[in-house]
Amino acid sequence: MVAIRDLALEYQQVAGGASGPIRVPAVSDISCQLRTAAISAIVGPSGCGKTSIIQAIAGLLVPASGDISIDGIPVRGVRPRTAVIFQDFGLLPWRTVEGNAELPLVLAGTRRARVRRAERRRRVDPVLDELGLSAFRGFYPAGLSGGMKQRVAIARALVSEPDVLLMDEPFSSLDALTREAAQEFLLQVRRSRPLTILLVTHSIEEAVYLAETIFVMQGRNPGTIRKRFDICENRLESRFAIGTGDVQDFRSSPRYLELCGSIRAALRESGGTDDGAAE
Amino acid sequence: MKHGACAGLRKLRGILIALVMIAALWETASRLLARPFLPGPGLAIGALVRLVTSGTLAVHAGASLGRVLWALAISFLPAAALGLAAGRSRRADAFVSPFIYIVHPLPKVAFLPIIMLVFGLGELSKIVLVGIIIFSQILVSARDSARRVPRHLIDSVRSLGATRLDLAIRVVVPATLPDLLTSLRVSLGTAIAVLFLAETFATETGLGYLIVDAWSRIDYPEMYAAIMALSLLGLALFIVVDGAERLLCPWRLERS
């Protein structure tokens, strides 16, 4: 379980004049728990600090106060079994599909004993096969569609055999149909592994379709969690019996529309419309 | 590879067309002026063939090429390393940037007398002058390019547990390599121009010397032949840098 307690985050911003960088609060009073092997989502307007929370859980941002723990162990820096998929996928343009997918193993090799190429292939090949990327292993990201790039980003995340997967607006740059396919793909990946997933998104519909717990954020500098929604239809037990059952399309049900409406209302009440402020 | 070969052929065709057009303009100007200091391209090419067959050109072109390559060898890697460090580290930047602001805008060729006083009249002063020009250009380019490495790429690789050295080797260097090679092309052009000047002093080898020597002997066809050889040297270096880019940055071919 990922537990966040009284979290406050700050970032440095360069101010005009000679005053130098100033510390700007990103989020404050964030307390929540992400259930093990469940998909949780954070929705909120731009600038409310969603990405900062992802960075803090990933160990890329040190909290100003409060703490984060995963399975009871405090997060102090990057954790090998936490994978992150960034909004623009974060693929290295100069590495092929295979090169990007094996990067966690290459980096692990530089920290400890070198991971041999045969061992890397043994771990990367099944993931590329599973994600339908084997035929594209020699391609560079520039030659791939948005959906394929996203699969490569997921492949890279899965190669490190994570137990926590953090996704920052992972589908935002995809067109509507590719986005739906990518959502199904994420569910499929989740069905095959007991991953704890945190999804940050602007899309209420996406969050309601995928997550069993949704945290609605409000405010800006600092942002806070305003409300929590639990969606029993998406719960682990009913949806993700690993290795069995189909994913029911929840999107056509009245309950889905009702939940979307409630979350939209919560966002509106908190003044959560996007005025274009930077995240 | 096939795509790369087609692009190479297109480039070669472009170069040939440009050469034919320059030769046509040259011939026209030569006929219109009808003066000894502007012989037609036919005479100059004849002189070039004589220089090649007598082995003279190989000696002078070899000397010029050697100076450029030595200058490149002593300047490129230190400049790239210092520039990349300045682009990614505030501490290094605090040291490097003031130096860049003061020294980079100065015309380095103005230092020629000082360089000759310090390094003597021999080879070293010529190599140092060309090296300083390449160093300055690569330093600025490396620093600016390193600053532009996208934040999301750094974060993405950091999230995989990369150390600072990993980030430098696996993100910063490849991300800046295309800019460094572009900058190398620009600085080689300037370096060859300066090389001409450097080779007009205290030497009896090099294409710069050959040009001035032919000029002093009023052998205009040979003077133009030496100028053509200097241009061809520049062209050859450009082609080598293009080849290096294809080899070192194959992902850019996919984009094009």
What pLDDT sits at residue B158?
Answer: 92
pLDDT 10s digits, A22-49: 888 888 888 999 999 899 999 988 888 8
Residues in chain B within 8 Å Cβ distance of A80: 161
What pLDDT sits at residue B46?
Answer: 94
Residues in chain A within 8 Å Cβ distance of B162: 107
Find the range with the poorest average confidence among A14-18, A52-56, B82-86. A14-18
Is residue A245 predicted with pLDDT exceeding 50? no
ipTM confidence: 0.81
What pLDDT sits at residue A278?
Answer: 34
pLDDT 10s digits, B28-87: 999 998 888 999 999 999 999 999 999 999 999 999 999 999 999 999 999 999 999 999
Is residue A242 predicted with pLDDT exceeding 50? no
| Distance to chain B for A48, nearest Cα, Å | 19
Is residue B134 predicted with pLDDT exceeding 80? yes
Contact yes or no for A60 and B159 at CB 8 A = yes
B35 and chain A in contact, CB less than 8 A: no
Contact yes or no for A78 and B160 at CB 8 A = yes
| Distance to chain B for A93, nearest Cα, Å | 7
Q: Which residue has the higher pLDDT, A15 or B147?
A: B147
pLDDT 10s digits, B187-213: 888 888 888 888 988 888 999 999 999
Is residue B153 predicted with pLDDT exceeding 70? yes
A256-A262-A263 Cα angle (round to 5):
90
User: Mean pLDDT of all residues in chain A?
Assistant: 84
Nearest CB to B162; choose among A93, A107, A156: A107
Kindly report the length of chain B.
256
What pLDDT sits at residue A226?
Answer: 85
Comparing CA positions, the residue from B183, B163, B185, B182 lying closest to residue B172 is B163
Q: What does the DSSP assignment read for chain A? A: -EEEEEEEEEEEEEPSTTS-EEEEEEEEEEEEEE-TT-EEEEE--TTSSHHHHHHHHTTSS--SEEEEEETTEEP-S--TTEEEE-TTTT--TTS-HHHHHTHHHHHHHHHSSPPPHHHHHHHHHHHHHHTT-GGGTT--GGGS-HHHHHHHHHHHHHHT--SEEEEESTTTTS-HHHHHHHHHHHHHHHHHS--EEEEEES-HHHHHHH-SEEEEEEESSSEEEEEEEE-GGG-HHHH--TTS-PPP-GGGSHHHHHHHHHHHHHHHHTT----S---
pLDDT 10s digits, A149-161: 988 998 999 998 8
Is residue A202 predicted with pLDDT exceeding 80? yes
Over pLDDT 70: what percentage of chain B? Answer: 97
Is residue B219 predicted with pLDDT exceeding 90? yes
B156 and chain A in contact, CB less than 8 A: yes
| Distance to chain B for A257, nearest Cα, Å | 34
